[in-house]
Amino acid sequence: MNLSGDWRSLFPVASVFAPPSAARSRGALLFSPLPPAVSLLSLPFPIPPPPQHASSRGLHRFLRAYITATSFLPLADLDSLASDLLAPPPSPFPPPSNLLAVLRRPSSPSSWSLLVFFPYGENAEQVAFITLDSDTVAGSTPASPVVQGQGFRHPGQSIRLLAASTTESFWLSRPGDKLVEGFLLAATLYSVNWFRVELHKSESLALVPVAKQGFDAAVVHACWSRHLPSECIVLLENGELCWFNLDSCNGGKMRVDLGSTDDCGNWLSCDYGAKPWMVIIATSKSVLLVDLRFASRGEYKVVAKVGTPGVFETDLFAGADQYLAFCRAGFDHFHYSVVTQRFLILLDVRQPLKPLLVWQHGLENPNNVAMFQLSELWPSKEHELASKSGFAILVGSFFTGEFSMFCYGPEEQGRSENSRLYSWDLPSRFPLTDQRCGCSNGIVKDVLSLPVSRDGSDPQENKSLTIGYYVLPYDISVLEPSFAGFALIRLTALGKLEIQRYRKSTDIHDDIPFQRILNGLPSNILCVTFSKYKDMVACSGERAAEHLDVPSLTRNELRPFLLAKPSSISDNLTSKRSPSLSFLLRVLDWVPAMSRSYAAVLAILAMAAVLCAPASAELTRLEHPAKNDGSLSLLVVGDWGRKGAYNQSRVAEQMGRVGEKLSIDFVVSTGDNFYKNGLNGVDDPQFEESFSDIYTAQSLQKPWYLVLGNHDYRGNALAQLSPVMRKIDSRFICMRSFIVNSEFVDFFFIDTTPFQLKYWTQPGKDHYDWRGVAPRGKYIANLLKDLDDALKKSTARWKIAIGHHTMRSVSEHGDTIELLKLLLPILKDNNVDFYINGHDHCLEHISSRDSPIQYFTSGGGSKAWRGAYQRNKDKVRFFYDGQGFMSLQLNRDQARFNFYDVSGKILYQWSSSKMNHLQPNTYVSEE
């Protein structure tokens, strides 16, 4: 294997040394999937994939979207594609966990048996397991799942993490006729639930609930001790570390204080160290080795700390990096690995400040890392010493299914103790999701030939997502003795449990993309890709690359590419990019010739890297101009979507009449747009039955700006946020949190449902769609920061906040404590004039006694008359326990509010006037 400088430039590895002579007989350590996969079980329900933020969606989807965008698509399609480029948010924390747990049962040398645990049910709210043995793999015995739906602290909540622990054979349960083979923990967002795996006298296995514990903060990670089989630790998103012992029924907790969020970042993962009292805790900014010997007294000691990933950064101009995934080696007590946006770092707890090896992994947002002995993946007799002394790290993303394997070991084969470690050969990239070829040839074909859906996404991506995997030990006979490679069990979002084999490749050249791949693509594809080149780059030379001709070429010819810098258009699209980054778009005459094709791929990578660069986190801002006379009129309605029932149609009729009289500019909805459980998808007929077919008056054919309510979150929340809804009815503009500017007034729409803790911890039979939101603490912190920044930047004369939940109310729901604690201080500090909401099915106006802010409730869009009233410490100016809506008329100096009932009668009027010589939030009011 030649590890020359040319190779290192193509596949950057930070710690590659000249390979020892004895190592050259290893051959290339590359693995590729070998079809077909062996199907074990198909579940009756798909499993919801882990929550993720919308992102650049990877190189594959972006390039296909761009190709489509440069053709003549409808404007709505282009808007949906552009939304992915304008503001790709960061990766979610905590990262998704492996949803497959495996327990190896005691067996004789001639037989083996595994228990495979996985989520089960419509919402993945239960746990199930199958027994996997040679008969099951061969198909002679069908796999039959055993399901456990009892014993959960929060029934109905999705399982987000599974972990199994094997007990010693002498562990017996109390009755004496049941052998305890192990333990299982299943974590939901706010709870951990423990089960015991029992073997009964009848040789049947059962999963028996043992304990359950709920938490006020989200569970980041949980794991079993490698020293005491019945002990585990749980890390929460607020920094609390909890420990439990199922045998002694003891436990405790303590907060690991690292300062502010800026100091410690996001809590990431945890594991036990070399001693039972040592714990390794990872955050996005540091990795800590913590001594918990005196934890019972509330004391702990940070023995070692590996600082920010920037310590290992080699590019001075690169953006800030952070840890994304963490794993401790199972084969020893000292090695562990962390993954950042750019690097894979191997560390040793005995010398934590000096990395053993650092690779540039080249993966998009990796969120999973696992460590193995090479003998588990490649028990070669021909290269036995290398197999036994080498190690492998598997790194990848559950969101993309793309993984890479990094191999390393000592300089002299067979010596691992106290030996210097070296990177062995090039990383092997392969897809975990399916049997596509993971080589560069396959990547290029996939990038430029697969179809694009209407919203620019891969229509099959979520369906084929792998959400859990387990590498099978080689002594388990699922492979032929002569097979060079390994096998793993994988669980897909479709609910398929299957075994996939990976064979060891013998030719390194399989992973180099030749120019013939690009030449083999249809000319019209490349022509579409680059024909509108002037919209992307501006060439500084005499000849601008405006219309790149891509002719049909023979096999020995090369297509032309150009070198240019990003244009102002691409700068505006991305909002944030590295000013020194250029597009490499000409294939240079490099030597060897094999590198030419790689340059072509790098050209595509560089182009995507610029346009997919993360934008700053800001609330989306929409512009809605005022009338020519400088005034603005709008209607506000909430809690309405009931297919016209409960007087919804009558309210809609009066809204049409008042809207015509006031010549309204738009309508605001304060949430709970569709009862009782939101929409079930973008094709749900309720959208038209409760919206399009109800609000038919000509005056209401204006933009509707909507926020989500708690009932909207009980369905498919993403459906209402989808641009598809605007294609059905162009009035419908719904987002989580955003700003509408109308010259002299800024409307701040705020997603308030995630603030309510009870929706997370006590949902009852209701299911909330937290995709794109969880974890709660991170989402709320980011939202409050973005809102505070936007309010401070606002120069509008009027500042109006709009959310679904009440801030102050005398009706059924009353005050929302979480909003009073978290949101109200920001509104007060930034001189917000009015807070408008729904949630309570009434009309009301309450004035704050300690600030100028006014609270308005307009939640009478349909079902009302709750008959509830409770006192409030602020001043109640108006309350009506019935159906109706509100109007708001504004100019630079005055705001006038009117409340109407179902007959169009004005129930209440109130106005506020800005005084030019006073502060912006000072007003004179009149009733």
Which positions are catalytic? 813
How far is it, in rounded angstroms, from Cα 166 to Cα 104?
7
Contacts of 511 (CB under 8 A, 6+ apart): 30, 426, 428, 429, 439, 440, 505
Backbone angles phi, psi at 205, to 5 degrees: -100, 145
How far is it, in rounded angstroms, from Cα 840 to Cα 829?
26
SS3 668: strand
Question: Rounded to whole angstroms, what are the CA distances from 437 to 503, 522, 587?
Answer: 12, 20, 25
How far is it, in rounded angstroms, from Cα 808 to Cα 855?
7
How far is it, in rounded angstroms, from Cα 880 to Cα 861?
13
Q: Which residue has the tokens 């083979």?
A: 181
Question: Rounded to whole angstroms, what are the CA distances from 692 to 647, 677, 683, 689?
Answer: 16, 18, 13, 7
For residue 859 the two structure tokens come to 């939640």
**Which residue in 256, 252, 263, 253 sits closest to 238, CA to CA?**
256
| One-letter identity of residue 269 | S
SS3 430: strand
Contacts of 688 (CB under 8 A, 6+ apart): 728, 729
Asked if 723 contacts 682 with a C-beta cutoff of 8 angstroms, the reply is no
Asked if 906 contacts 889 with a C-beta cutoff of 8 angstroms, the reply is no
How far is it, in rounded angstroms, from Cα 283 to Cα 289?
12
Locate the DSSP E strands across 401-465: 402-410, 421-431
| One-letter identity of residue 93 | F
DSSP string, 678-705: --SSTT-THHIIIIITT---GGG-S-EE
Lateral strand order in the sheet of 114-120:
101-104, 114-120, 126-132, 146-148
DSSP string, 341-357: SSEEEEEETTSTTS-SE
Backbone angles phi, psi at 378, to 5 degrees: -150, 75
For residue 291 the two structure tokens come to 């001594």
